Structure 1
Amino acid sequence: MLPLALTGLLALSACQFAGQDDSADDARRLNTMEAFPLHAYLPDPSSDRGKSIGTAQWILAKQCMVRLGFAGFAVLDTRSVESTYPVRQGTLGSRSRTGDDSPYGVDDPDRAAEHGYHNRTQEESSQPQEWPADQYVALTGRFDSGDSHHAHGHPVPDGGCLGQATRKIYGPPPKVTTVNGLKLSGYYSLGLQLWYESNKQARKDPAWKKADRAWSACMKEKGFRYSDPDKASLDTAWYRTEEPSDREKKTAAADARCKLDTDYIGTLHAIETRAQKAVISKRKKDLDALRAADERAGENARTIIDKKS
């Protein structure tokens, strides 16, 4: 039997490790797009509705391409392309894995020590497909200099066959908005606009700046000098190679550890969540209309799929 004092010490250590594990799990749960209120107003391609809309878009686009004179599209298997967006032939390079798909960057010290900041996920099933220039133009309505705006004598519809399909499913598109210099014309532009605006507002919160300082101090103790995680993850040194260097791995591992040790992710998530709830409250009517439009699009998509069956 273990001495009582040793038993107590082991129990205390177990609780401490369990607490650390719980803290890390909480950070990773909060470090996802799904953990934010505005996510409910953004598209989810993986949902049943999202998949139906993707399938319907390609069904309509296929019919449109045949009408434009691309006879080979009559036998196109839409299942092979319904989750992808076309890429012009000759422009599809290897997508860099540098960067991170999560809101606050690396959060797992062990994974960061192995992959550094080359932490971007790649879904093989949704890799874009290359198309010859004439087919790409007809599908997307995106023209390079010298491209014809006609296909086999037929005018290419605005936004190409995929754009036309999207309008049939969703209805007239919303007005173009500009976010951080980028023009957004999609049906979810409002959600993206509000996400950007709320993030910009959240970054002004003194608590956000305090969290940056705490993280920076932790990194300094480990031998790394960055004022905030963005400066670390966007260091140009990491973009020079396809594989992470030893220096990058050590930096990323320290970055993730300092986020956990200072509760960086939990702090920022709470600040940004408050900011998002504030903009949702102000634009509730518009956002509800957006959600209703998405539900109607899902119904329209299912009708299109049923007719094809």
Structure 2
Amino acid sequence: MPMKRSTALLVTAGATALAVSVSVPLVRSLNDTDSPARETGAPAERTLAPAPSGTPAKDFVLSLPLAAYSLTREQQVLLDRAQIRLQETCVRRLSSSDLPPREVPDASAAVEPSRRYGIVDMESAKRYGYQSPDTPSSTASLPRPNETQAMLLSGRTSAGKALKTYKGHAVPEGGCNAESRDAIYKDHDKEPGIAVAQQIDIDSYKRSLQDSRVSAAFSDWSRCMKRAGYTYESPMKVADDPEFADANYSKRERSVAVADVTCKFEVRLPQTWIAVESAIQKKMIERRQSALTHLSESQKLMVQRARRVLAEK
């Protein structure tokens, strides 16, 4: 059954990549001058390229500048598959047994659009209201290793004690899971750019909420919702309505969600919001370019290592 998910703050596509995580992923505002008043107050008006007029909900893609410093879905699938390959090799080396075959869902598998700006997917609104659709696969559905293999993967016995050797073989610290991850990620988790990207993700979202154009779009959306018979101040308020908190979505919830998405695109709220936040992120990225570039280089090295692992017979 679909479960409730509040509006995401982190960039969905980058959550996993940034926290490695994602999250995307996953998952980071600065104005045109450095004056303290500007830094702590609402962003001043900026001239933005107008958002495409009349973009229908089905064609809207939420992609912010920071996504350039996140792993793509294809890259994350590559990393996951390489780790599985290494886990299999490690367990076979230690126990002469084969792990049950496991497969990472292909990157082309359907994924619900990000809810950073609230629900924007009309089909999801019609079917699930504000609940998250069921995911096509999960860790729970993967074939489970036997007890010995589970110990080798985790590096711990069933009693929780560190497993240092098995049948005369030294078990890597943290087990085969840690060994396989270290082989792909190396020191990536220590990259300063991860924290930089996460902070930009958070701060740019907060700053965008302070922009007068976004506030005006919220007001337009609220008036549109009022005409539809629903009284809400903002998209965040409706998504967090206690009435829609449980997974048993009702006909009313679906009706409100459909009106929500309809009004968002009628007043061009997503297009306005993404234009505003994109401008904010670009400024922030310029100021932390060195750390973010280093983050990208580290991600490229991870992908290269994963490709080499998967290329081996």
Query: Corresponding residue for 1:59?
Result: 85
Q: Which runs of 5+ in 2 are unaligned?
A: 1-51
Q: Given the alignment, which residue of 50, 55, 67 partners 1:39?
A: 67
Letter in 2 for 1:120: P
Q: Give the C-alpha shift of residue 271 in structure 1.
A: 1.1
Structure 2 vs 1, CA of residues 230 and 144 (structure 1 numbering), >3 Å: closer, same or farther? Answer: farther
1:54–1:83 Cα contact (<8 Å) kept? no
**Which SS does the other structure have where 1:207 is aligned?**
helix
Q: Which runs of 5+ in 1 are unaligned?
A: 1-20, 85-96, 178-186
Q: Given the alignment, which residue of 163, 178, 188 partners 1:173?
A: 188
**Which SS does the other structure have where 1:23 is aligned?**
coil
Q: Given the alignment, which residue of 259, 263, 267 partners 1:258?
A: 263
From the CA coordinates, give the structure whose radius of gyration is larger: 1
Query: Corresponding residue for 2:31?
Result: none
Q: C-alpha distance in 1, partners of 2:224/2:271?
A: 16
1:61–1:165 Cα contact (<8 Å) kept? yes
Per chain length, whose mean CA-contact separation is higher, i.e. which structure has more relative contact order (CA < 8 Å, sep 6+)?
2
Q: Select the structure that is richer in helix.
A: 1
Query: Corresponding residue for 2:34?
Result: none
Query: Corresponding residue for 2:204?
Result: 198
2:212 is equivalent to residue 212 of structure 1 = no
Letter in 2 for 1:195: D
Question: Percent identity over the alignment?
Answer: 24
What is the RMSD computed on CA atoms of the aligned residues?
Answer: 3.6
Query: Corresponding residue for 1:81?
Result: 103
User: Superposition pairs for residues 33-182 of structure 1, below 5 Å?
Assistant: 35-46=63-74, 49-69=75-95, 71-72=96-97, 74=98, 76-77=100-101, 80-83=102-105, 101-109=114-122, 112-120=125-133, 122-124=135-137, 129=142, 131=144, 135=149, 138-139=152-153, 147-150=160-163, 153=166, 157-158=173-174, 160-175=175-190
**What is the total number of aligned residue pairs between the two structures?**
254
Q: C-alpha distance in 2, partners of 1:281/1:237?
A: 42
1:109–1:256 Cα contact (<8 Å) kept? yes
Q: C-alpha distance in 1, partners of 2:237/2:258?
A: 15
Letter in 1 for 2:67: H
Query: Corresponding residue for 1:295?
Result: 300
Q: Given the alignment, which residue of 234, 240, 252 partners 1:228?
A: 234
Q: Given the alignment, which residue of 241, 247, 250 partners 2:252?
A: 247
Runs of 4+ aligned structure 1 residues displaced above 6 Å come to none
Using structure 2 for the length normalisation, give the TM-score: 0.67
Structure 2 vs 1, CA of residues 121 and 101 (structure 1 numbering), >3 Å: closer, same or farther? Answer: farther
Using structure 1 for the length normalisation, give the TM-score: 0.67
Q: C-alpha distance in 1, partners of 2:308/2:220?
A: 54
Q: C-alpha distance in 1, partners of 2:239/2:302?
A: 38
Letter in 2 for 1:208: V
2:23 is equivalent to residue 23 of structure 1 = no
Q: Give the C-alpha shift of residue 198 in structure 1.
A: 1.7
